[in-house]
Structure 1
Amino acid sequence: MLDLRRLLILREVSIRGTLAAVAESMSYSPSAVSQQLSLLEKETGLELLRKAGRGVRLTPQAEVLVAAAGELLDVLERTEAEVQASHSEVRGRVRVAVFQSAALALMPTALREMGRLHPQVRVEMVQREPEQALHETWARGFDLVVAEEYPAHAAPWWPGLDRRDLTQDAIRLALPPRADAPWPASELASCRDLPWAMEPAGAASRHFAEQTCRSAGFEPDVRYETADLQAQIRLVESGNAVALLPDLVWRDRTTTCRLVDLAGAPRRTVFTAQRTSGLGSPALDALRRILDEVASA
């Protein structure tokens, strides 16, 4: 009989690429990871790993074992959900990854409602960028992700994830409070020579913002880069920059920014995703239902 723990370590190798990364993700030492993989090779009588630069590459036989390990994890997750559903009250633990504006605008109310309605559920929240969070949810690092998708920039797709849209919010041009200070601006085209605040390169919002400016006939002068949208708001309110910001950032927050509609009324989509093997979990069902209610409020 193959050792399930060793199969899971092999699966982590297929996801992480290096033994050091596997050791970090599983809280093992690199030597312990190497030892367990060596024992798995002895158990199976197969060569499972080959050197590939600084990392390792799985053999075809190892890929078969990795697929089997994934199926076993699905079975275990479905079984756990069935056991949870057999209780008279909703209980368990939910690990959720969220992006910043959802953490600020949606999660506080959702967490309060979960605590009120389902006190036996422990919800653990971590802030992650959507692309990383979706991958980690597929890899079983999280149970649920609250992610975002910008126009013409599809979020990554991972097999075995169930996606459900939560809400859409408009994206608008945010300008300093006074039209005459420190520089006049009233529409996107008049911002061609102004300093911009945007998220770092590679973010979906950055790609959207740059393409929007280019469609208006100019290359934005991105003088301030930050993934913190609250910092972007302060840069705009203080008259140091302009930015393109989604409406969700203004929830439960007053602003002195002037907000201008963009051509075509672009909207961002906020959605949740979880593994299909966990769809029977009462705790996950409860949190997704409450998030739906909060988002639609």
Structure 2
Amino acid sequence: MFELRRLRLLHELSLRGTLAAVAAALSYSPSTISQQLAQLEKEAGVPLLAPEGRRVRLTEHGEVLAAHAARALDLDERARGELESLHPGLAPVRVAVMQTAALTIVPAALALLADRAGHLRIELVEMPPEQGLFELAARSVDLVIAEQYPGHTRPLAEGIDRESLGTDPVRVAVPAGDPAASLAELRDRVWVMEPAGTAARLWAVQQCRAVGFEPDIRFELADLSAHARLIAAGQAVGVLPDLLWGGAPAPVSSVELPGRPAREIFLAQRASSQGRAGITEVRGALRDAFPAQGRSTAG
């Protein structure tokens, strides 16, 4: 009989690629991970790992067992969901949130949950959408608030469900009183953008290229509040979503992008956790907390 904890380690290794990454994610030492996987190999009776330089890789047997491990973890989660339906609040709900959601949607949702499900323990961790969706597949979080930009689709791992919360207009932020009236007029400005590799950065750069210029990105920051401060101080321009302001007056002026685009804000959850009453409560509160002007009317 395979032990579920060890199967999870194999599943994590198939996702993260290195023993060190698995150890960091699960707060174990790499030597502990190695020992547990060696024991899993004994239980399986076949080699699951093979050395590859200083790293290890899954063998063909390892890949087969890792796929079965994912299904076993799904079944475990479904069973826990049924138990939770009989005992609400049995397990905490861990939510990965991007910064703008943490500033605006989440505080309102927590206030709703305090009234609706005060027994429920909510744990929040701020992550970029790319990382949050990965950690959702890896079972480190239960729910993710993420974004998707027009014309840019995000890959979702198998077994992940998503629900649209609504839309959030995106504009170019410029210093207050700036005379620029179009994106093309900002070709010679200094830009602040999110780090390379993020969907927000890729999309913003594409908007500039579509009107004929390559932005001069001198400031690369993950914190959108820092973007806003730089722009308000007259040091840069940048692409920012309305949700950042939380309904309060913005300290900057804005220039409309061609077509007046808006990003989609969505929730993502593992299909195997659909039975968890706590997650359902949190989803409902996040849905109700989303600003009414951008709320989705679908389903």
Band of TM-score, shorter chain? over 0.9
Aligned residue for 1:168? Answer: 167
Q: Distance in 1 between matches of 2:14 and 2:236?
A: 44
Aligned residue for 1:192? Answer: 187
- After TM superposition, give the deviation of residue 6 of structure 1 in Å: 2.0
Q: Distance in 1 between matches of 2:49 and 2:92?
A: 34
Aligned residue for 1:70? Answer: 70
The answer to whether the 8 Å contact 1:91/1:118 transfers is no
Q: Distance in 1 between matches of 2:198 and 2:289?
A: 26
Aligned residue for 2:201? Answer: 206
- After TM superposition, give the deviation of residue 165 of structure 1 in Å: 0.6
- After TM superposition, give the deviation of residue 118 of structure 1 in Å: 0.5
Matched, 1:82 2:76: no
Moved over 6 A (4+): none
Question: Which stretch shows the higher mean deviation, 7-16 or 199-208?
Answer: 7-16
Counterpart residue identity of residue 160, structure 1? G
Summarize the alignment of residues 18-37 of structure 1 with structure 2, pairs less than 5 Å apart: 18-37=18-37
- After TM superposition, give the deviation of residue 64 of structure 1 in Å: 2.0
Aligned residue for 2:295? Answer: none
- After TM superposition, give the deviation of residue 90 of structure 1 in Å: 5.2
Q: Distance in 2 between matches of 1:27 and 1:175?
A: 43
Counterpart residue identity of residue 141, structure 1? S
Aligned residue for 2:226? Answer: 231
The answer to whether the 8 Å contact 1:134/1:156 transfers is no
Counterpart residue identity of residue 44, structure 2? T
Aligned residue for 1:222? Answer: 217
Counterpart residue identity of residue 16, structure 1? R
Counterpart residue identity of residue 158, structure 2? P
Q: Cα distance 1:288–1:168, how it changes in 2: closer, same or farther (>3 A)? A: same
Aligned residue for 2:296? Answer: none
Question: Which stretch shows the higher mean deviation, 92-101 or 27-36?
Answer: 27-36
The answer to whether the 8 Å contact 1:235/1:241 transfers is yes
Q: Distance in 1 between matches of 2:90 and 2:30?
A: 35
Matched, 1:248 2:243: yes
Cα deviation digits, residues 46-105 of structure 1 (max 9, x gap) = 111111233211112122221222111111111111111123x55531000011111101
Unaligned runs of 5+ in 2: 293-299
Q: Distance in 1 between matches of 2:68 and 2:6?
A: 12
- After TM superposition, give the deviation of residue 4 of structure 1 in Å: 2.4
Task: Please tell me the root mean square deviation across aligned C-alpha atoms, in Å.
Answer: 1.5
The answer to whether the 8 Å contact 2:6/2:36 transfers is yes
Q: Secondary structure at the match of 2:214?
A: coil
Q: Cα distance 1:256–1:44, how it changes in 2: closer, same or farther (>3 A)? A: closer
Q: Distance in 1 between matches of 2:23 and 2:171?
A: 44
Matched, 1:113 2:109: no
- After TM superposition, give the deviation of residue 296 of structure 1 in Å: 4.3
The answer to whether the 8 Å contact 2:194/2:222 transfers is yes
Q: Secondary structure at the match of 1:92?
A: coil
The answer to whether the 8 Å contact 2:183/2:256 transfers is no
Counterpart residue identity of residue 129, structure 1? P
Q: Distance in 2 between matches of 1:240 and 1:2?
A: 58
Aligned residue for 1:281? Answer: 276
Q: Cα distance 1:256–1:5, how it changes in 2: closer, same or farther (>3 A)? A: closer
Cα deviation digits, residues 239-294 of structure 1 (max 9, x gap) = 11111111111214322311222211111011000100001111111111111111
Q: Distance in 2 between matches of 1:19 and 1:201?
A: 26
Question: Which stretch shows the higher mean deviation, 70-79 or 38-47?
Answer: 38-47
The answer to whether the 8 Å contact 2:4/2:73 transfers is no
The answer to whether the 8 Å contact 1:136/1:142 transfers is yes
The answer to whether the 8 Å contact 1:162/1:274 transfers is yes
Unaligned runs of 5+ in 1: none
